[in-house]
Amino acid sequence: MFKWFRRDKAAADAKTTDEAAQPDVALSDVPHEAVAAPRDLPAAAGFGPANGDGDSTAQSSVLHSEPDAGLVGDRPEAHVSGDIRTPVDAPAISNVEIEARVVVEQISADEGRAPEQAVSAEATAALHPEPARRPMTLRERLAASARALSATIGGLFKRNPKLDDALLEELEMALIQADVGVHASAQLVGDLGARMRKREFADGNALLAALRTSLTGLLSPYAQPLIVARDKKPFVILTVGVNGAGKTTTIGKLAKRYKSEGHSVMLAAGDTFRAAAVEQLKTWGARNDVTVIAQGSGADSASVIFDALQAAKSRGIDVLIADTAGRLHTQGHLMQELAKVKRVLAKLDDSAPDETLLVIDGGTGQNALNQARQFHQAVGLTGIVVTKLDGTAKGGILFALCSEMKLPVRFIGVGEKREDLREFKPREFVDALLPADLG
Ligand SMILES: Nc1nc2c(ncn2[C@@H]2O[C@H](COP(=O)(O)OP(=O)(O)OP(=O)(O)O)[C@@H](O)[C@H]2O)c(=O)[nH]1
Ligand SMILES: [Mg+2]
């Protein structure tokens, strides 16, 4: 009885003070969060489970629909029978909880605020902190590809298999299915088989460790981020690739990257095929605060990029990045147009472009190899960016690309935002796709 007297008295006191300070505050005015917040306020605000069993789920639904009238000074009728917080249920609320609640009410009264406001402003902030916005790890970004590779290969090794040719065959199939490519898979498994026959592996775990090392070793020579030479001004990057591969987005990301490294950057709107393409590049230019050189749509792509190179030279720009229209690698005349762009640039600067960068959508799977071969044949690639690895299960294609093309992988795209361009780090990549602990 005494406990309840103290509680009601404190509520009444709080009400008096509150009415003076906050006459209009009613339960219905309290933001939803303020009502919902006490879910996680076990004792401090007197929101402990009414039935004392700690079932916060049950409690939270009650608090959503029937906020504790005891905290709202003007709702004494809530103490009538049937409410789970009536004196009938009162013994379930501990002494400590009630004491704590009195303290909360007292503090609020001292500060001239309604108790529920105190909960909202202070306890909510403390007990419901904003979820920390940490950048996603590569493993999280590559979750779909990781599932594809780990599910099949993990299954193999979890069965604790005998180390024999049948296992190697299954392993090869699993790698091919995960888009690692026929050639790379055969080579990897061939090497592992030779070592297995020399009894280098005590068990499946040792074989898995060797596979991870081999996969990392396969990628390592090609992980070469595009570092802009300081003594070459402007350093010219020509981006090429099929429609929708992510060229323009990658240019936006590169502009941010090079600007943040202290370079001055200019963009050339060489995709004159669609009006929207120029606008898209201008948007990226505005976002990064860099100049975009453009002409109307339908203009000659080579002439736009040539103009841009002239402008970049005269303005002493460090990096010029040229966009081009997406084209199918099978469209010979369009591939020739790219070759023309290169020839025209060379008239002004015989080393330009300094980088001919193929942008490939990682979700294309094995077709990425055909694209890479044909673009390389037409314009002589010097680097590759693989995009959209965040949304595909086909990330294994990086192994096939490295093994077949033997070209530097400059960056990988793992999202649509400016920050979502990462350096390609083979160990991190293999860890993400095929972790040591497959469990
Ligand atoms: N999830 C994800 N989306 C991406 C990534 N890179 C690009 N995109 C998206 O892919 C779509 C096509 O990107 P664009 O940059 O316009 O591709 P493009 O190669 O310039 O296309 P065209 O100019 O039509 O040839 C856009 O919706 C981009 O936001 C990436 O790394 N991850
Ligand atoms: Mg584009």
Q: What would the pLDDT profile of 22-80 be if each residue is shown by its tens digit?
A: 333 333 333 333 333 333 333 333 333 333 333 333 333 322 333 333 332 332 333 33
Q: How far apart (Å, rounded) are the C-alpha atoms in residues 45 and 120?
A: 11
In ligand 1, the atom with minimum distance to the C-alpha of 359 is 19
Beta pairing partners, 48? none
Q: Which ligand is nearest to the CA of 142?
A: 1
Distance from the CA of 249 to the center of ligand 1, in angstroms? 5
Q: Which ligand is nearest to the CA of 334?
A: 1
Q: Where are the alpha helices (DSSP H) in 66-164?
A: 95-110, 115-118, 124-127, 138-141, 143-158
| Lookup: tokens for 114 | 């309604």
In ligand 1, the atom with minimum distance to the C-alpha of 362 is 31
Buried b / exposed e across 185-197, counting CB within 10 Å, b at 16+? bebbbeebbeebe
Q: Which ligand is nearest to the CA of 244?
A: 1
Half-sphere exposure in the Cβ direction for 60 (13 Å, CA): 11
- List pocket residues of ligand 1, CB cut-off 6 Å: 241, 243-249, 271, 277, 326, 359, 387-388, 390-391, 413-416, 420
Distance from the CA of 144 to the center of ligand 2, in angstroms? 25
pLDDT for res 340: 95
Those residues of the chain that have pLDDT short of 70 are 1-132, 160, 439
Asked if 113 and 123 count as a contact pair (C-beta separation under 8 A), the reply is no
In ligand 1, the atom with minimum distance to the C-alpha of 252 is 15
Asked if 115 and 105 count as a contact pair (C-beta separation under 8 A), the reply is yes
pLDDT digits (tens, 9 = 90+) for 372-396: 999 999 999 999 999 999 999 999 9
**Probe ligand 1: pick from 416, 418, 423, max atoms within 8 Å of CB?**
416
In ligand 1, the atom with minimum distance to the C-alpha of 242 is 25
Q: How far apart (Å, rounded) are the C-alpha atoms in residues 4 and 277?
A: 71
pTM: 0.72
Q: Whose CA is nearest to atom 29 of ligand 1?
A: 416
Distance from the CA of 251 to the center of ligand 2, in angstroms? 9
pLDDT for res 74: 31
Distance from the CA of 285 to the center of ligand 1, in angstroms? 16
Q: Which ligand is nearest to the CA of 363?
A: 1
pLDDT for res 157: 79
How do the residues of the chain divide into helix, strand and coil, expressed in percent and rounded to 5?
Answer: 55, 10, 35
Distance from the CA of 228 to the center of ligand 1, in angstroms? 23
Buried b / exposed e across 309-347, counting CB within 10 Å, b at 16+? bebbbeeebbbbbbbbbbbebeeeebbebbeebbebbee
pLDDT for res 26: 33
pLDDT for res 160: 65
Asked if 232 and 351 count as a contact pair (C-beta separation under 8 A), the reply is yes
Distance from the CA of 361 to the center of ligand 1, in angstroms? 8
Distance from the CA of 413 to the center of ligand 1, in angstroms? 10
Distance from the CA of 393 to the center of ligand 2, in angstroms? 24
In ligand 1, the atom with minimum distance to the C-alpha of 251 is 15
In ligand 1, the atom with minimum distance to the C-alpha of 273 is 23
In ligand 1, the atom with minimum distance to the C-alpha of 420 is 31
Pair type for strands 265-268 and 319-322: parallel
